[in-house]
Amino acid sequence: MVKVVTNLPVFVALMSSPIVVPIEQFPDWFGALHRVLPIWHMANVSRDSLTTGLVEHAGTSYAVWGLWLVVTRRG
CA–CA dist 42, 1 (Å, integer) = 32
- The radius of gyration computed from the CA coordinates of the chain, to the nearest angstrom, equals 14
CA–CA dist 4, 45 (Å, integer) = 31
The per-residue pLDDT for range 19-65, each reduced to its tens digit, is 888 888 989 998 899 889 888 898 889 888 898 888 888 899 999 99
Per-residue pLDDT at 67: 93
> Does residue 14 have a pLDDT over 80?
no
> Does residue 71 have a pLDDT over 70?
yes
pTM: 0.72
> Does residue 16 have a pLDDT over 80?
no
